Structure 1
Amino acid sequence: MLVVGAVAIAAVARRWNLPSPLVLVVAGLALSFVPAIPNIELNPDIVLFGVLPPLLFNASLDSSYLNLRANIRPVALLSIGLVLFTTVVVGVVAYLVMGPELGWPVALVLGAVVSPPDAVATTAIARNLKLPRRSLTILGGESLLNDATALTVYRIALIAAVGDGFSIWHGIGLFAEAVGVGVAVGLVLGVIGSWFLCRLSDSLVEVAIFLLLPFGAYALAEQFHGSGVLAVVTAGILIGRKMPKMHYATRLQGSSVTATVDFVLETLVFGLIGLQLPSVISSLHDRSAGQVTLLVVAVTLAVLLARIVWMFPATYGPRWVSRTIREREPAPSRALIGVLAWAGMRGVVTLAAAYALPLTMTDGRPLAGRDLVLLCSFVVVLATLLLQGLTLPWLIRRVRLPFDEDQADALAEAQAAQQAAQAAVERLEEIADAELPDSAPVVSELRTSAESRANAAWERLGPQDETRLETPSELYRRLRRSMLHEERTVYIHERDTGRIDDEVLRRVQRELDLEEAMLDR
């Protein structure tokens, strides 16, 4: 019922062009006050092992290896440096407010829990925002990798909190082990998966591999005390790099399946977030309302301000130190850095980590402060999702970021399309001269088709004649869609009157659908 309701709400939100993640969170909050709605407590294992791997993997497939490699420094400063900085800042603030009642280990656990912006939230909210590509690459890379840092720091702090013994060197060793094992597992599975996917020609089997591989990578890495997040992301980036060499049916079906999986899981996740209010309130022990309120407000402000404070030095500091960076990279505007500093939405991973805290320490005593960690995590997730998620589009419009990549992309595509068409025509003529000397009509039609694709790419730069309302390619697509509609009508009528079988209709329908999909490019 939760999945059905979440999908229905998301469908309405998308119909009215509303941000469906935020609508789902608000709807979940509203439903949590309805007495008939059961208390649904988030299961951390379902999130970390069942929801997170496919979402991370699909996001990794769509990421650009070249862009990530070119921006590895800012991505690392955010996904590692900012996570550690936020963990310490929030830990110090929480300890100053609550003192020994919370304790340093639990305070740092709280810092690790709320430190990473969520990959699901960032992707779902930022995908429709008009940001420069480099900024989207940095945000995407941060959201893919910061969970690995945060969950590893969380494990280290949790060891100290439950009384299992802890030392700095032990913590460094755990961190190195998590990173090394996670990357190694991802590399091995990514290479093996790519090898099979590039050599198979059965799209159903290949799509099944897409669905199964992230779960296998995450579970295998966690089994050997590595970072499952890094394993999934590494494998996804490697396989995404090889996607252009795979069978076309795999790409077409795989993109449809993964998009549907993302949609269902994202709607489920955001719906779950809002429904956690009753379980969070019921977990609270008898505490001073004033002190709890002060803690929640202080932690939320610390999370928001830590990102802002970190962002500007981390962006401009390397430029001040390194002349090479100044010469190689254009200086980002303060407006853009401000937008990125405000794009730190937390999400379901934060809640899952909070719920995963054990109830007791190793000696059997209750883990003091678990209820506070859960409450602060819930409030931080709500505050960042609703406050930042609702105001980020307004902020982007307000600062009026320079954005000219569409024209540059269109020019680069047109130039590449011209070269591709020329190479295709040359190959066509070689085959025709050697093997098909009497095929002039077919060769002429194929040459025209290749030249039309190249011309369509140039037309996307803008109409040459300002008085023309449609380019030739746009006119062609409009007229061809009308023709396809009439062809479908005839085939359906023939099926309804019994002149052709349903199997014939389905076969023809697929051909017409593929052609229309080409027109919608």
Structure 2
Amino acid sequence: MDAEIFYVLVGALAVGAFARWRGWPAPLVVTVAALLVSLIPAVPTLDIDGHLLLNLTLPPLLYSAALEVSFVGFKRSLPHIRRLGIGLVLCTALAVGLIAWWIMPELTLAGGLLLGAIVGPPDAVSAAAIGRKLGLPRRLMTVLSGESLINDATSLTLVRVFAAIVAGATVTVWDGLWSFIVAVVLGVLIGLLFGVVLHQLRMRLDDPVVVGTAGLLVPFGAYAIAEHLGGSGVLAVVAMGLFVGYHAPRTDYTTRQQERPLWLSADFLLESFVFAYIGLQFPRVVRELGTADAGITIALAAAVFGIVLVMRPIFVYGSYAWGRMWQGIKIMRWKHSLEAYRRDPDDPRAKMMRDRREQLARRGVDVNETMLRQRILEPVLSVPERAVLSWAGMRGVVTLAMAAALPDLTGGTMPASHVQKLIVVAFVVTVGTLLLQGLTLAPLIKALRVGSDEERKLDARQILAIRERSQEVGKAYLRAQRTEWKERYGPESAEVFDRMAQSLLRVERDTDRAGQVLESHDGSADAAAQKPTYDDLVALSKGWLEARREMLIRERDLGNLSEEVMREIMTAIDAEELALDTRGAIRDVGRA
């Protein structure tokens, strides 16, 4: 088995690398290649325990995805994400359960609902890869990514409840609802606790190797402990990833620079293996279909596949219309409450709202627009964007792993023939959606001309505004530092300081100007004259970079800067600090 897994890893990586080189969606290419390889008689079937597959692949994939999701965008898109991640999974499970019970009554209603919960959660890995390549709008990518972060928790909770019913336990609707609430609350709390601990570790350790290794291990711990205590391991990992990702700009730049390529490599490895595993299951599925129940199993698989395809667009368009209607009602209520508070100045709620408005106004923020955007408004999705969202319903590793774990989940009480049928249906739905929707999603995006041109224009305006703000912050910082230098080194230090200050203020146009000033300064320290040293100039440069970082974080927190643009600018600032440290290291080697 060890050798077989190694061969699968090597083959999947090779195919995935070729797909990336050609610009093709790697998950789909790996799946198709594995399907073709599985037809070779000499290739053995790779059997991996479903629980093991989930526990080894789900925590790192979820954590990595949560790190990349904009928390601000996630929070704003939460109504969309909540409806799709919870409501759509529930509706899909119910629809599939009823149809499965009607087609195959011997499954029982609980068995049908168990099948519905297994095939309910879409996997956004393939859709996200295609969307990034074709430049889908960020608001749409946030909804896709956010949905995939929480729908697994909904599905796994439903699977536990229906599997317990199949196993003979008496579970009421209230028991299932209570289990879901406990899973959500406990999972989020454990995730936040792990997130706080990991963030403090990242803030206090200056060794990026140790911090990166801890980041690889902690998601497994959060997932395992949450599952052991009855919470949702998925939500624990997601909450931890969102917390750590949101606070990542406050950590040392070396941690950020090492972390991103590390997780990109881990994601590529795990995703390649998972999709190869999906494709290699084909021989076993064919063998299981070679029974007397093959006809009814094929009919059930076709029916479930059709429901999965149809249910998503119906729910996407219907829930969006409902959300827009409810949003209009909330806006009317908000405006009515605002007018009522204005007429009654003694109302404590009126005072609280006035204080909040004054606080935002002092920051130069459009008060009404900010309060509406943060509390009420959902991102608007055009009809073409909703069409793309409706078609991005590919299933993945969670569906297949839960199906493979059915014997353990049901305690061996479900007949083996029923378990085989559910596994076959789950496999057909997974591979069918990967091939049908995965191969046609890119042409659909191109045909509907869904792009991010508008966002690119908005990003350009934000970057221009941030550069102006950066100049203001820089001038204020340098004025304070110039006064301090004059007190420390005397008026003769003004020339060196002014040369360095002018270079820093032009750093966004010419990132090497500060380096030229550093190289022209010999760095000799005259203790008697108290001249500024090379290290003083480096400290001045790093202080200027830190002032820019703090400004970016403030603008993001105020809602004036998207998190994606902030991360791009932050990456450029990190590169500038890396150049400073590299130049200093080379200088130290030369002096040695």
TM-score bin, normalised by smaller chain = 0.7 to 0.9
Mean Cα deviation higher: 194-203 or 282-291: 282-291
Asked whether the 8 Å contact 1:119–1:140 carries over to 2, the reply is: yes
1:365–1:399 CA distance, 2 compared to 1 (3 A): closer
Q: Which residue in the other structure is 1:252 paired with?
A: 257
Q: Offset at 1:13?
A: 1.0
CA distance in 2, matches of 1:409, 1:361: 51
Asked whether the 8 Å contact 1:56–1:119 carries over to 2, the reply is: no
Q: Offset at 1:193?
A: 1.5
CA distance in 1, matches of 2:141, 2:271: 19
Q: Does 1:157 align with 2:157?
A: no
1:18–1:330 CA distance, 2 compared to 1 (3 A): closer
Mean Cα deviation higher: 366-375 or 149-158: 366-375
1:263–1:14 CA distance, 2 compared to 1 (3 A): same
Q: Offset at 1:196?
A: 1.9
Q: Does 1:374 align with 2:423?
A: yes
Q: Which residue in the other structure is 1:492 paired with?
A: none
Q: Which residue in the other structure is 2:388 paired with?
A: 339
CA distance in 2, matches of 1:255, 1:355: 32
AA matched with 2:382: S
CA distance in 1, matches of 2:164, 2:204: 45
Q: Offset at 1:512?
A: 11
Q: Offset at 1:41?
A: 1.8
Q: Does 1:206 align with 2:217?
A: no
Mean Cα deviation higher: 418-427 or 261-270: 418-427
Q: Secondary structure at the match of 1:39?
A: coil
CA distance in 1, matches of 2:208, 2:47: 38
CA distance in 2, matches of 1:225, 1:157: 16
CA distance in 2, matches of 1:215, 1:280: 31
Asked whether the 8 Å contact 1:39–1:278 carries over to 2, the reply is: yes
1:368–1:171 CA distance, 2 compared to 1 (3 A): farther
Identify the match of residue 438 of structure 1 among 489, 493, 500.
493
Asked whether the 8 Å contact 1:342–1:392 carries over to 2, the reply is: yes
CA distance in 2, matches of 1:285, 1:195: 56
CA distance in 2, matches of 1:330, 1:275: 40
Q: Within 5 A, what are the aligned runs for 1:46-445?
A: 46-99=52-105, 101-284=106-289, 286-324=291-329, 328-329=377-378, 331-358=380-407, 366-401=415-450, 403=452, 404-435=454-485, 436=489, 437-438=492-493, 440-441=495-496, 443-445=498-500
AA matched with 1:133: R
Q: Does 1:6 align with 2:56?
A: no
1:367–1:170 CA distance, 2 compared to 1 (3 A): farther
CA distance in 2, matches of 1:177, 1:337: 32
Q: Secondary structure at the match of 2:422?
A: helix
Q: Secondary structure at the match of 1:438?
A: helix
1:266–1:364 CA distance, 2 compared to 1 (3 A): closer
Larger radius of gyration: 2
AA matched with 1:156: V
1:110–1:330 CA distance, 2 compared to 1 (3 A): closer
> Which ranges in structure 1 are unaligned for 5 or more consecutive residues?
457-472, 481-509, 516-521
Aligned length: 464
Q: Deviations over 1:244-269 (max 9, x none)?
A: 00011000011111111111111111
Mean Cα deviation higher: 160-169 or 291-300: 160-169
Q: Secondary structure at the match of 2:122?
A: coil
Q: Secondary structure at the match of 1:350?
A: helix
Asked whether the 8 Å contact 2:164–2:410 carries over to 1, the reply is: no
AA matched with 2:197: I
Q: Which residue in the other structure is 1:451 paired with?
A: 506
Mean Cα deviation higher: 255-264 or 108-117: 255-264
1:275–1:192 CA distance, 2 compared to 1 (3 A): same
Q: Offset at 1:438?
A: 2.2
CA distance in 2, matches of 1:112, 1:329: 28
CA distance in 1, matches of 2:460, 2:415: 61
Asked whether the 8 Å contact 1:190–1:235 carries over to 2, the reply is: yes
Q: Deviations over 1:42-78 (max 9, x none)?
A: 3312321111101100111111111111111111000
CA distance in 1, matches of 2:14, 2:327: 52
CA distance in 2, matches of 1:360, 1:57: 25
Q: Which residue in the other structure is 2:41 paired with?
A: 35
AA matched with 1:384: T
Asked whether the 8 Å contact 1:428–1:443 carries over to 2, the reply is: no
Q: Offset at 1:176?
A: 1.6
Asked whether the 8 Å contact 1:122–1:140 carries over to 2, the reply is: no
AA matched with 1:118: D
Asked whether the 8 Å contact 1:55–1:120 carries over to 2, the reply is: no
Q: Secondary structure at the match of 1:195?
A: helix
Q: Offset at 1:10?
A: 0.9
Q: Deviations over 1:193-214 (max 9, x none)?
A: 1122122222122112211110
Asked whether the 8 Å contact 2:289–2:297 carries over to 1, the reply is: no
Asked whether the 8 Å contact 2:19–2:25 carries over to 1, the reply is: yes
Q: Secondary structure at the match of 1:383?
A: helix
Asked whether the 8 Å contact 1:7–1:264 carries over to 2, the reply is: yes
1:331–1:16 CA distance, 2 compared to 1 (3 A): closer
Asked whether the 8 Å contact 1:21–1:125 carries over to 2, the reply is: no
Q: Offset at 1:417?
A: 2.2
Q: Offset at 1:326?
A: 7.2
Percent identity over the alignment is 38
Q: Secondary structure at the match of 1:103?
A: helix
Q: Secondary structure at the match of 2:407?
A: coil
CA distance in 2, matches of 1:261, 1:370: 32
Q: Secondary structure at the match of 1:81?
A: helix
1:52–1:121 CA distance, 2 compared to 1 (3 A): farther
Q: Deviations over 1:7-31 (max 9, x none)?
A: 1111111111111111100000011
> Which ranges in structure 2 are unaligned for 5 or more consecutive residues?
1-6, 333-376, 517-577, 584-592
CA distance in 1, matches of 2:215, 2:35: 34
CA distance in 1, matches of 2:75, 2:226: 23
CA distance in 2, matches of 1:326, 1:339: 28
Q: Deviations over 1:354-388 (max 9, x none)?
A: 00001796586735511111111111111111111
Asked whether the 8 Å contact 2:407–2:414 carries over to 1, the reply is: no
Q: Secondary structure at the match of 1:128?
A: helix
Q: Does 1:44 align with 2:50?
A: yes
AA matched with 1:90: V
Give the TM-score normalised by structure 1.
0.83
Q: Which residue in the other structure is 2:565 paired with?
A: none
Q: Offset at 1:426?
A: 3.5
Q: Secondary structure at the match of 2:33?
A: helix
1:361–1:378 CA distance, 2 compared to 1 (3 A): closer
Q: Secondary structure at the match of 1:369?
A: helix
CA distance in 1, matches of 2:155, 2:292: 28
Asked whether the 8 Å contact 1:163–1:362 carries over to 2, the reply is: no
Q: Which residue in the other structure is 2:361 paired with?
A: none
Mean Cα deviation higher: 286-295 or 203-212: 286-295
AA matched with 1:394: P
CA distance in 1, matches of 2:326, 2:269: 46
Q: Which residue in the other structure is 1:506 paired with?
A: none
Asked whether the 8 Å contact 1:152–1:178 carries over to 2, the reply is: yes
1:432–1:29 CA distance, 2 compared to 1 (3 A): same
Q: Which residue in the other structure is 1:465 paired with?
A: none
Mean Cα deviation higher: 280-289 or 167-176: 280-289
